[in-house]
Structure 1
C-alpha cells in the first residue's frame, strides 16, 4: 500500500562543475558529508544523512529505456522528525554548518545544486530486506506541465509499475516531491532557488532483482512510453533534463 511519509525530508541534487572529475567531486562531497555528520547539532537533530553517488551497474538498462547518460551528480538526503529539528533548533543557522557549506564552494557544491524539503510518496517499503542496489532518477519538470500535474503523472506511472508482478523485487520505491518549507533558509545559506523537479528512488535487494524490474516486458514498455511522453527520451528534439543512475549510498548518520 502506498502512503505519504509523515517524516520530513530534505534532498540536495549537486551537479559536478565542468572542471572537476566525477571521482574528485564524489570524494569531496563524501568528505563534506563526514564533516556535517560529525557536528553535534547534526547528530542531535537528524535521523538520517545519506550521501548518494553514481555507479555504472545499471547504465545499459537506463540507455535501453531511452534515458540519457547521467551527468556527474551527488545526492545528499536527510531525514528528521519535524521542521522544528531544523528551524527550532536553528540547525540551518549553526555557524559550524555555515562554515562547512561556505568552504564547499571551493568545489561548487552549492552553485550547481537544487535543494529542497520534500514530501515523500512511498509505494513500496520493506525495511526487513537488506538493500544492495539503489536507483536514483532526477527529472526536471517538462515545460508543458505544471509541477503538480507533472508529479501526478509520475505518480501514476510509478503506481502502474508497482502494480506489476515484479513489485516484490523492490525493497523500496518512492517519489520525492518538492515543498517550499525550507526554501528561504536554504537560500540564506547560499543555495540558489530550486529548479522545479522531482526525484524517484528505487531500491532492490540485489542487482539481479533490479534488472528483472527493468526487463519485465510491461515495465519496460511503460518506462519507454513514459520517458518519451514526458519528453525525457534522449532522442527527443528538445529533451527535458533527466539524470538517472544506479547508486552507492553512504549513510553518515542513522539514528533510527
Structure 2
C-alpha cells in the first residue's frame, strides 16, 4: 500500500564540474562521505548516511525508454531524528571545514540539496537490494511542482499495478519541502532547483531488467517520459538524470 512517510532527511544531488573526471569526482565524494561519517558530531546526530554513485548495469534499458545519457552525478542522502540534531551538526567547525575543502571539486557549487517527504509506493522488509535505480527529474516548466509530483505519483502507481510489482524491493518518490533550506544554505549550498527523485530497488539485476522489459511498463515509461518532456529526442527536453547505482552506506543506526 502506498503511503507518505514523514522522515527528517535531506538529499543532495551533486553534479561533477566539467574539469573533473567521473572517477575522480566519485572518489572525492566517497572520501568526503567517509570523513563526514568519522566526525563525532555525525556519529551522534545522524541515523543514516548514504553516498550513491553511478554504474552502467541499466544503461541500455534507460536509453531504451528514451531517457538521456546521465551526467556524472553523486547523490548524498542523510536521515536524522530532528532538526535539533541537524542544528548541532551545522554548528560543528569540523563539518564546515570539510565542506569548504570540497569546493576544490565543486561538491556544493553544482548541487541541489533539500529536505524530502518520501512517498512510498512499495517496500518489502527484510529483502536485501542488489540493484538500485535513481532518477532525478527536474520540474518541467509547464507544470507547477505540485502538479508534477502528482503526475509522477500516478505514473508510479500505474507501473506498480502490473504483475512485475513483486520484482521491486523498494519503490519511492522523494518530494521537496523547505524544512532545511536555511540550514543547508548556511552550510554553503545554493538554493535548491525544483526537482523530484524516484528510487527503485530490486533484489537482483534480472528483476529490474524484467520491470523495464515488461511490455505495458515499457509503454507507460516511454509515454510518461515523452509527455513530461524528458525524452532525449524532444525539441527542448527537460533535464533528467537516471542511472543504476551503487549505494555506499557510511552510517546506519536502523
In 1, the alpha carbon distance for the partners of 2:217 and 2:157 equals 11
RMSD over aligned Cα, in angstroms?
0.7
Corresponding residue for residue 74 of structure 1: 74
When structure 1 is superposed on structure 2, of 2-11 and 43-52 the one drifting more is 2-11
When structure 1 is superposed on structure 2, of 6-15 and 226-235 the one drifting more is 6-15
In the alignment, is residue 255 of structure 1 matched against residue 249 of structure 2? no
Q: How big is each residue's C-alpha offset from its partner over 1:8-46, in whole Å with a ceiling of 9 and x where there is no partner?
A: 111000000000011100000000000000011111111
Corresponding residue for residue 239 of structure 2: 241
Corresponding residue for residue 124 of structure 1: 122
What is the 5 A alignment of 1:1-256? 1-87=1-87, 90-256=88-254
3-state SS, counterpart of residue 236 of structure 1: coil
When structure 1 is superposed on structure 2, of 93-102 and 130-139 the one drifting more is 93-102
In 2, the alpha carbon distance for the partners of 1:49 and 1:56 equals 23
Aligned-pair CA distance for 1:187: 1.1
- What are structure 1's unaligned runs of at least 5 residues? none
In the alignment, is the contact (CA less than 8 A) between 1:7 and 1:82 conserved in 2? no
Q: How big is each residue's C-alpha offset from its partner over 1:125-148, in whole Å with a ceiling of 9 and x where there is no partner?
A: 112111100000000000000000
In 1, the alpha carbon distance for the partners of 2:40 and 2:18 equals 34
Q: How big is each residue's C-alpha offset from its partner over 1:67-125, in whole Å with a ceiling of 9 and x where there is no partner?
A: 000000000001122223213xx212211111100000011000000000100001111
Following TM superposition, where does structure 1 have runs of at least 4 consecutive aligned residues deviating by more than 6 angstroms?
Answer: none
Alignment coverage as a number of residue pairs: 254
In the alignment, is the contact (CA less than 8 A) between 1:9 and 1:120 conserved in 2? no
In 2, the alpha carbon distance for the partners of 1:85 and 1:61 equals 40
In 2, the alpha carbon distance for the partners of 1:159 and 1:203 equals 15
Q: Give the TM-score normalised by the residue count of structure 2.
A: 0.99
In 2, the alpha carbon distance for the partners of 1:228 and 1:73 equals 23
